[in-house]
Amino acid sequence: MGSTVLSLRIDGELLDRLRQHAARRGMSVQDYVLQTLVRDDFDERFKVAVDETEKFYGAGPRNAGPADRVT
The 10s digit of each residue's pLDDT in 10-39 is 999 999 999 999 999 999 999 999 899 888
39: containing domain: 30-58
Question: Looking at residue 3, what is its pLDDT?
Answer: 83
What phi and psi values does residue 12 have, to the nearest 5 degrees? -60, -40
Q: Is residue 50 part of a domain?
A: yes
pTM of the model: 0.60
Q: Is residue 40 part of a domain?
A: yes
Q: Is residue 19 part of a domain?
A: no
Alpha-carbon distances, residue 7 vs 4, 30, 37 (angstroms): 10, 11, 14
